Amino acid sequence: MNSETVDRFLSGPEILRRYGVSAMTVHRWRHDPDVAFPDPEMVIGGRNYFREAAVVDWERRRAKASGSRRITSSAGS
């Protein structure tokens, strides 16, 4: 794990921009055990903040499981 990502947090909008998906898609990812997107580490004022290290770890696991294909949203997101 890179020391630069250990304590950095990504807001919900940063997650949406990072993957080019809607809030509903991230919601589905979080609640789909096959996708297993990390839950937010903090909720402040109703806003979700995700630990960047957990997101990067999720990206690596998904890339490894999918044969390094790019992570994309499902149709209708």
Give tens-digit pLDDT for 14-64: 999 999 999 999 999 999 999 999 999 999 999 999 999 999 999 999 999
User: Where along the chain do its domains lie?
Assistant: 9-65
**What pTM was estimated for this model as a whole?**
0.75
Distance CA 38, CA 59 (A): 10
| 1 pLDDT above the threshold of 90 | no
